[in-house]
Amino acid sequence: MKSAPDSPSPTDRSGSVAIVASRYNARFTDALVESASATLAKLAPELAVRVVRVPGAFEIPIVVEALASSEDQPLAILALGVIIRGSTAHADLIAESITLSLQDTGVSHLVPVIHEVLLVESAEQAEARTLGDELNRGREAAEAAVAMIEVMASLES
């Protein structure tokens, strides 16, 4: 069984973190946002958290790009959403497009973009990854953001 890395140590860095989350599949995405926000408050209490909601997963990358290229660039950006695969290739096309766009933004702006736009087979899989404690991807996204903020700060030294 795969396991996530251990939770990072709390940080006292100041600045901001942005969460860009889809409003689609709200039961699951709301849970991701709540979990990520609570984890950030615990691990990085000095960081201001800005939440921006977008209609669907496909709209996440444009807002992530806008935030990454802004004058007040966040120290990290969390991209949160849930895509439930249907009977056509639409979900796969959306997920691939999002993945490539988020990676391009992070690399081109040198800002950690944490990709937790989940592509799942069913509502049950979404529930396990958003509402449960064991695989909670909101918590994991926040932990990854804090860890990457520290990594990026160490590169500046």
- Using CA of residue 134, residue 140, residue 142, residue 143, what is the dihedral sign? positive
| CB of 115 closer than 8 Å to CB of 55 | no
CA 143 to chain CA centroid, Å, is 10
List residues with catalytic annotation: 90
pLDDT tens sequence across 23-63: 999 999 999 999 999 999 999 999 999 999 999 999 999 99
Burial annotation 86-106 (CB, 10 A radius, 16+ → b, else e): eeeeebeebbeebeebbeebb
pLDDT tens sequence across 96-153: 999 999 999 999 999 999 999 999 999 999 999 999 777 899 999 999 999 999 999 9
Please tell me the pTM assigned to this model: 0.94
Please check the confidence at residue 1 and state whether its pLDDT lies above 80: no
- What is the gyration radius of the CA atoms in the chain, in angstroms? 15
Q: Which CATH superfamily is domain 19-156 in?
A: Lumazine/riboflavin synthase (3.40.50.960)
Q: How far apart are CA 99 and CA 90, in angstroms?
A: 14
